Amino acid sequence: MAGITDQEIDRNRCILMYDDETVADALAALRDAQGAEWWHLVVDAGGAYGAATYSSLSDQLKKEQAAFLSKSLGALVGGVLPKVETMGDQAASDPAAIKDKAASTASHVAVITASGEFRGILTAGATRSAGLFSSDLVGLAGQYAELPKKGLLGSKRRQAAIAKKSK
């Protein structure tokens, strides 16, 4: 088995966030990456993951407004962000089998790791091309509260960056 290629993973655009960061942080990360609402927000909740498209946050944002922006991403895992039930190793997994397995879950997402590190996702559904950009959700959030400036890091993100540098 050849495993999952980098190209297969890269087609499924996502942003990895941590459970101690907020919805506002996640939207700032989407803005900074010049991402689109079809991209997936993936939250690392201590080795367990939650994932959904950014567009799935829209209804909750409209309901709760500024209060939703200040919620921790960890509080959304299992609710707005369905738990990811399918995981696979990039080198040892068959992409078709992983996608089939993910299709029967609430998230429709499989987290892919390489040497135990988050590498990306595969989705059971279709993907979009990398060039499309939509800022409606980010603009909507800006009506309710100011989004964090570029470069702000939560404590888990800082720890991960330090660990990566020391390797």
In the chain, where are the structural domains located?
6-165
Instruction: Provide the pLDDT for residue 153.
Output: 59
Rg (CA), the chain: 16
**83 or 158, which is more confident?**
83
Residue where the block lists tokens 């330090």: 162
CA distance 54 to 40: 6
Per the DSSP assignment, residues forming a β-bridge with 44 are: 18, 49
Instruction: Provide the pLDDT for residue 132.
Output: 42
- The contacts of residue 8 (CB under 8 Å, 6+ apart) are 95, 122
The highest-level CATH class for domain 6-165 is: alpha beta
**Is residue 167 over pLDDT 90?**
no
Q: What is the pTM of this model?
A: 0.81
pLDDT tens, 90-145?
A: 999 999 999 999 999 999 999 999 988 999 999 987 544 443 444 576 666 666 66
Per the DSSP assignment, residues forming a β-bridge with 16 are: 42
CA distance 126 to 11: 10
Q: Do β-strands 48-53 and 86-89 pair in parallel, antiparallel, or remain unpaired?
A: unpaired
